């Protein structure tokens, strides 16, 4: 499958006489990407004619950058995996992942992951893309995820993630009634000794900061909104458990499954700057049914 893609611009008056190299640098195409284009099957065209990066642009020129095609991994198979498409353009997807779906294949989940479902979606809609997931969610966590459709878009979104310009808000339901209506948990997190999966608050861990705000309280649980400053593995689960309020359903970190059979955690809001569209985008996904049922006064 030909998985190449291209970007195209019309040169404006104020860009007259710019070198192609300087122009694409402003568009955040790196030297590494240009090297990839030069040696691995891409191209740079001005008015449909091949040029080098030293070419001077003129007002009205049509500049096209064609990136090398991307290959899909031979082991990544298409599976019909349910997810809702919240937003889509030629560069990215925003999806609402249901619970119980791993983001990517692993030793324990070779098939039936979101990545397998994306390949099925791409094949069904004849989309020449491979897998570039920007923000992963745990298997049992539901909600919004950003997926890039090509390597260049993925690099732009990854840069935003590193500089904390992709904003995510979570909602959770925890055991017990929280005494403070809002607060910040700032405790380092590291891998728990003798465990591949489990994390814990520990002095020699990585810095981790979680802000929370109480949305609603019940006799034995609390509905909270959470914003992360850092993105450590299991951060929300570990932090809330460390202050005595593990997530409902989260047996790994002290919760129980009497009312819900997975951790009650949902990625509810996602916002980012779409550099390729030069537009700020914001999305929201309502709580799934199992978490809504937890908020019923009778539960």
Only one residue has tokens 């802000």, namely 211
Q: Are 148 and 135 in contact (CB under 8 A)?
A: no
**Residues recorded for the chain:** 299
The widest CA-to-CA distance across the chain, in whole angstroms, is: 70
Q: Are 95 and 84 in contact (CB under 8 A)?
A: yes
Residues 6+ apart with CB under 8 A from 159: 28
Give yes or no: 138 in active site. yes
Query: Exposed (0-12), middle (13-18) or buried (19+): which is 38, by Cβ within 10 Å?
Result: middle
Q: Which of 138, 140, 250, 290 is catalytic?
A: 138
Q: Radius of gyration over alpha carbons of the chain, in Å?
A: 23
Only one residue has tokens 């509810």, namely 268
CA 183/CA 226 separation, integer angstroms: 10
Q: Are 170 and 247 in contact (CB under 8 A)?
A: no
Residues 6+ apart with CB under 8 A from 177: 217, 218, 219, 220, 221, 222
The distance in angstroms from the start CA to the end CA of the chain is: 51
DSSP letter string, 18-65: -BHHHHHHHTT--HHHHHHHHHTT-EEEETTEE--TTPBP-TT-EEEE
Tell me the catalytic residues.
138
């Amino acid at each position: 499958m030909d998985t190449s893609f291209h970007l195209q611009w019309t040169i404006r008056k104020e860009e007259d006489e710019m070198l192609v190299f300087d122009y694409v640098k402003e568009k955040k195409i790196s030297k590494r990407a240009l090297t990839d284009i030069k040696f691995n099957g891409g191209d740079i065209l001005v008015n449909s004619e091949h040029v080098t990066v030293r070419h001077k642009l003129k007002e009205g020129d049509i500049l096209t950058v064609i990136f090398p095609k991307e290959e899909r991994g031979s082991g990544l198979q298409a599976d019909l995996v349910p997810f809702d498409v919240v937003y889509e353009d030629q560069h990215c997807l925003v999806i609402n992942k249901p619970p119980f779906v791993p983001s990517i294949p692993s030793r324990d989940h070779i098939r039936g992951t979101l990545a397998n479902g994306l390949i099925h979606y791409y094949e069904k809609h004849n989309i020449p893309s491979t897998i570039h997931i920007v923000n992963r969610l745990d298997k049992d966590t539901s909600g919004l995820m950003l997926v890039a459709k090509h390597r260049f878009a993925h690099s732009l979104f990854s840069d935003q993630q590193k500089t904390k310009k992709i904003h995510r808000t979570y909602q959770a339901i925890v055991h017990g009634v929280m005494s403070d209506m809002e607060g910040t948990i700032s405790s380092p997190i590291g891998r728990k000794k003798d465990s591949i999966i489990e994390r814990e608050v520990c002095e020699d861990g990585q810095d981790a900061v979680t802000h929370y705000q109480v949305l609603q309280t019940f006799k034995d649980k609390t509905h909270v909104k959470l914003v992360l400053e850092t993105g450590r593995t299991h951060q929300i689960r570990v932090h809330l458990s460390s202050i005595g309020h593990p997530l409902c359903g989260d047996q790994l970190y002290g919760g129980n499954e009497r009312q819900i059979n997975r951790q009650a955690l949902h990625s509810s809001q996602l916002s980012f700057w779409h550099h390729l569209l030069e537009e700020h985008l914001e999305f929201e996904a309502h709580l799934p049914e199992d978490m809504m049922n937890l908020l019923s006064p009778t539960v």
